[in-house]
Amino acid sequence: MFRCFNLLLLLVCLVYHSGNTSKPVSGEKRGNVILPCQYEDSNIGHIDLFSEVEKIDVCETEECSGRVFKEGNCDVVIKNLIFSDAGKYTLRIYYNNDQTELKYQLHIHDEISVKTGEELKMSVLVSDADKVKTNSSGEWKEVWTRDHGVQSDRMNDDDDGNLIIKSFLDSDAGTYRVLDTEGETLITVTVTESPEKLDDTEQQRNWIVSVVVCLVILAVIVIVISVFIWRRQHRDHTQVQENTENTQELEKL
Ligand SMILES: *[C@@H]1O[C@H](CO)[C@@H](O)[C@H](O)[C@H]1NC(C)=O
């Protein structure tokens, strides 16, 4: 009897759990993502999509002006992804006078390349964001929380949902993860240091300096060689003079 009850409890748990697990889907910022519904039933009459806070308009075809549209039987495509699209979605499917719900957890990822000394602005503090962690130091560390804001004086956050690194250092490069209150990853940003590129005036200045240095070296070499040749000729000349004087003296004898 007790075992039966345990089994029943386990079964209830399993059903409850599977009904609540969200299917993870991932898309690149500015890219598209599909929330797959995988229902083959052709009697699907209607679908509704909800985020955690509102019902979302789903266009019937891609030709609509909106970013969210239906594809095939009941798949939903979100195009031109932005960070604030990240989070939980519920797709309600109506068919044969019945309805079912599918849940999704949408994750957005992006890559950013920054020059040393530049300001880095990441618009990752979306409404569901609870924490931001980074492994730039080699281990995962919190750099921002909803309750306490930024954890470093090299960082800022603003009212538009930006996390700002005031002056980027190469040690800031790494992965930045934005987590919701349940610890699910909403956004992943991979930040790399972009190689220094000299601007045009700087390149011109460097070119002029190299030319001047070359000319100076060349001038020094020419002077040294000239002095060497002049001294050699001078010595030969005096030797020749000495020789003739010697022979003259010998002839006298
Ligand atoms: C951070 O984690 C990512 C994987 O999530 C890894 O590829 C990267 O090398 C790590 N960076 C550092 C600085 O540890």
Give a yes or no: residue 69 inside a domain. yes
Q: What is the pLDDT of residue 12?
A: 43
Q: What is the pLDDT of residue 19?
A: 52
- Is residue 185 lining ligand 1, measured as CB closer than 6 Å? no
Nearest CA to ligand 1 atom 7: 175
Give a yes or no: residue 247 inside a domain. no
Q: What is the pTM of this model?
A: 0.71
Nearest Cα to 136, choosing from 163, 168, 172, 110?
172
Residue range of the domain that includes 182: 115-193
- Is residue 135 lining ligand 1, measured as CB closer than 6 Å? yes
Give a yes or no: residue 89 inside a domain. yes
Give a yes or no: residue 34 inside a domain. yes
132 with 93, same domain?
A: no
77 with 141, same domain?
A: no
Which residue, 50, 83, 106, sits at the end of a domain?
A: 106
119 with 102, same domain?
A: no
Which residue, 71, 106, 141, sits at the end of a domain?
A: 106
- Sheet of 155-157, strand order: 120-122, 163-165, 155-157
Count of domains observed in the chain: 2
136 with 169, same domain?
A: yes
| Interval between CA 141 and ligand 1 midpoint (Å) | 12
* Among 135, 139, 191, 192, residue to substitute to test ligand 1 (most atoms within 8 Å of Cβ): 135
3-state secondary structure string across the chain:
CHHHHHHHHHHHHHHHHHHHCCEEEEEECCCCEEECCCCCCCCEEEEEEEECCCEECCECCCCCCCCEEEECCCEEEECCCCHHHCEEEEEEEEECCEEEEEEEEEEEEEEEEECCCCCEEECCCCCCCCEEEECCCCCCEEEEECCCEECCCCEEECCCCCEEECCCCHHHCEEEEEECCCCCEEEEEEEEECCCCCCHHHHHHHHHHHHHHHHHHHHHHHHHHHHHHHHHHHHHHHHHHHHHHHHHHHHHC
| Interval between CA 112 and ligand 1 midpoint (Å) | 14
65 with 142, same domain?
A: no
166 with 102, same domain?
A: no
Nearest atom of ligand 1 to the alpha carbon of 138: 14
Nearest CA to ligand 1 atom 2: 175
24 with 100, same domain?
A: yes
Give a yes or no: residue 14 inside a domain. no
Give a yes or no: residue 204 inside a domain. no
95 with 119, same domain?
A: no
Give a yes or no: residue 177 inside a domain. yes
Per-residue pLDDT of the chain (253 residues; tens, 9 = 90+): 545 545 444 444 444 444 568 899 999 999 999 999 887 777 787 899 999 999 999 998 888 888 999 998 889 999 999 999 999 999 999 988 888 999 999 999 999 999 999 999 999 999 999 999 999 999 999 999 999 999 999 999 999 999 999 999 999 999 999 999 999 999 999 999 998 766 667 778 888 888 999 899 999 999 999 999 888 888 776 666 666 666 666 566 5
Nearest CA to ligand 1 atom 9: 174
- Is residue 174 lining ligand 1, measured as CB closer than 6 Å? yes
125 with 89, same domain?
A: no
| Interval between CA 88 and ligand 1 midpoint (Å) | 26
Which residue, 57, 87, 106, sits at the end of a domain?
A: 106
Domain containing 132 — which CATH number?
2.60.40.10
Give a yes or no: residue 59 inside a domain. yes
27 with 102, same domain?
A: yes
| Interval between CA 190 and ligand 1 midpoint (Å) | 9
